[in-house]
Amino acid sequence: MLPVGRAEYMRMSHATYVLSPWSAQSGLSMPSIERASGVYLYDTDGKRYLDLASGLVAVNLGHGHPAVVAAIAEQAGRLCYASPALFNPGRAQLAETLSAISPWHEGCRTFFTTNGAQANEDALKMARLITGRHKVLAAYRSFHGSTPGSGALSGENRRWPNEPSAMPNVVHFFAPNPYRSPFNTTDAATETTRALEHLQLVLEYENPESVAAIFIEPVVGSNGVIVYPQGYLAGMRALCDRYGILLVFDEVMTGFGRTGETFASITFGVNPDLITFAKGITSAYVPLGGVMVRESHAKYFDDHVLGAGHTYSGHPLAVAAGNAAIAAYRNDNLFTRAREIESWLREGLGALRDRLPMVGDARGIGAFFAIELVRDKATREPLVPWQGKSSAPLLAVLRRLRELGIYTYGRYNCVMVTPPLIITKAELDEGLEALGTALEESLVH
């Protein structure tokens, strides 16, 4: 017999043998999740948690969708691996479907990867090959992955561990943030104008003819779910057109129904040149990512070698999950369901903002929201300095949420609220009530 209960043993085993991401390892204490269904996770003690984060803004279909699970099992019995150099019907079907649901009338071709970080690195490589240019721009308040290349694209402090050896020729710029303007305004139109003027100035100082691409999350993801003011993305598109720069949308979080359309580019009516994706393509059941390249650019590789490849590119189990997931989004009307969820989140999180002194802002789009925590609502003084050394107050909130049976995550002053697209209003109300309780009990003294 084990000297301790099974659940405690599994937690001890994890702490002893597993390195957990983005954390000092000493003293970590998290639930040990062993199964999930719908919008709920279950740990080894049998405790249930409402997954208010869709894992990591990934499990858009909820956990255990039977059609996707069945497709993975059926594929496993038929073919588990085929070299990406070989043609494969599952890959072809998924790429054709992605072209059909893309924002481009001309369609697209897709290069498959395992995750979003790879997708962003490959998109950068493609942009450099297509344009013959070497520089790339990305926003400071952004996250594009933690590998050396994608980590260099990232603008926030998860970039720092890659330095000084991070990928060269990456230049960062400030993008709009209506709640905490880098451009000293509270007016949205002025924010857009000044942000575009700033981007224009950066381009001029970097020589726009040397810039291959601009990378942008169409909605800022884990850095606070910032929805850019009207006109900003369109203005960025116009700058790219002026200088022959490729516009890359990182839709790893915003893709596959999260903003109420198949892609955020459709939500905002701005067409990029490349789209990177991951997460929701399989509802995170099997790792899969990729780069969608609009046909007018993809045809470059008809006569030029595409210098990219991965052992697991378009893995048969992954593309089977992707095909089944997209069918489920369509069959269950989930690509647009976030529009309904948005109304619930605006009302519920808005009520928390109005009632609680520590909630400075509640913002988002579709099923993609966050709240920002402050010390003083009038001055907007943050709870802790952004990219500071400590996020202890936020960790206390998240810990109390888990005690109340709710799982989500956040960074510094921001708590993510990004539920699966299958959530009901009653289930969401359960989560928002617990969020209010956790905020009051953790932060009001």
Tens-place pLDDT, residues 287-322? 999 999 999 999 999 999 999 999 999 999 999 999
- pLDDT, tens digit (0-9, with 9 covering 90-100), for 248-280: 999 999 999 999 999 999 999 999 999 999 999
Tell me if 347 sits within 8 A of 375, measured CB to CB.
Answer: no
Q: Express as a percent the part of the chain with pLDDT over 90.
A: 87
Question: Is residue 358 scored above 60 in pLDDT?
Answer: yes
Cβ neighbors of 384 (< 8 A, separation 6 or more) are 390, 391, 392, 393, 394, 412, 413
Tell me if 227 sits within 8 A of 365, measured CB to CB.
Answer: yes
Question: Is residue 354 within a helix (H) or strand (E), and if so which, with residue range?
Answer: helix 338-355
Question: Is residue 1 scored above 60 in pLDDT?
Answer: no
Full-model pTM: 0.96
Cβ neighbors of 132 (< 8 A, separation 6 or more) are none
Indicate the residue type of 165.
S
Q: What is the mean pLDDT of the chain?
A: 95
First to last CA, the chain: 45
- pLDDT, tens digit (0-9, with 9 covering 90-100), for 421-433: 999 999 999 999 9
Helix, strand or coil, per DSSP, at residue 422: coil
Question: Is residue 2 scored above 70 in pLDDT?
Answer: no
Helix, strand or coil, per DSSP, at residue 185: coil
The one-character DSSP state at 241 is H
* The pLDDT of residue 443: 87
Query: How much of the chain is helix, strand and coil, in % rounded to 5?
Result: 40, 20, 40
Tokens of 127: 């942009």
Cβ neighbors of 184 (< 8 A, separation 6 or more) are 194
Question: Is residue 190 scored above 80 in pLDDT?
Answer: yes
User: Sorting pLDDT into bands at 50, 70 and 90, what band is 162?
Assistant: confident
Question: DSSP string spanning 81-118?
Answer: ---TTS--HHHHHHHHHHHHHSS-TT-EEEEEESSHHH
Structural domains in the chain, CATH included, are 31-60+335-443 (3.90.1150.10), 67-331 (3.40.640.10)
Backbone angles phi, psi at 110, to 5 degrees: -120, 135
Question: Is residue 168 scored above 80 in pLDDT?
Answer: yes
* The pLDDT of residue 389: 66
The edge-to-edge listing of strands for the beta sheet with 33-37 is 33-37, 40-43, 48-51, 406-407
- Mean pLDDT, residues 22-35 taken together: 89
The residue with tokens 């926030």 is 156
Tell me if 378 sits within 8 A of 363, measured CB to CB.
Answer: no
Tell me if 298 sits within 8 A of 108, measured CB to CB.
Answer: yes
